Amino acid sequence: MAERRALADRVAAETRGRWAEAVAALYLQLKGYRIRGRRIRRPPIEIDLLASRGDTLVVVEVKYRSTLDEAVRALRPEALRRLEQLAGQLAVEFGWSQWPRPVAANVRIDLIALAPWAWPRHIEGIRS
């Protein structure tokens, strides 16, 4: 019985995560971003969304919690460091290193925090 409940909880969390990523993608598109990828896996980490606007490639982490503040706090420093390392690799992979400016100036990590009955909170350029 406990195994069945654990499986149901995992399925519910996966469903919420996919919904949150879809909402975040729509929100970014409304702000003028182009979605370039979703759920990009590079073990040991997964990029929720990869977007661009102008000459900036944006790695987007999406967090859904019961409050926006909890969602913002849910991004752990070690996960952020891994995202920062992966951002440069993705810039090369997606051809962003060919742009006129240095890669570091063209790649950013953002957080979209989501909570029930709240407008999304978009935090641009988060750092560890």
Domains in the chain: how many in total?
1
Rounded-to-integer distance, Cα 36 and Cα 18, Å: 16
Whichever domain contains 82, its CATH number is 3.40.1350.10
Alpha helices in the chain (DSSP H): 2-30, 68-73, 77-93, 103-106
Q: DSSP label at 118?
A: S
Higher per-residue confidence, 59 vs 89: 59
Let me know: does 114 contact 63? Beta carbons within 8 Å: yes
Tell me the Cα Rg of the chain. 15
Averaged pLDDT, 92-109: 64
Query: Does residue 128 lie in a domain region?
Result: no
Q: What is the pLDDT of residues 73-99, one digit of tens each?
A: 999 998 888 888 888 777 777 666 554
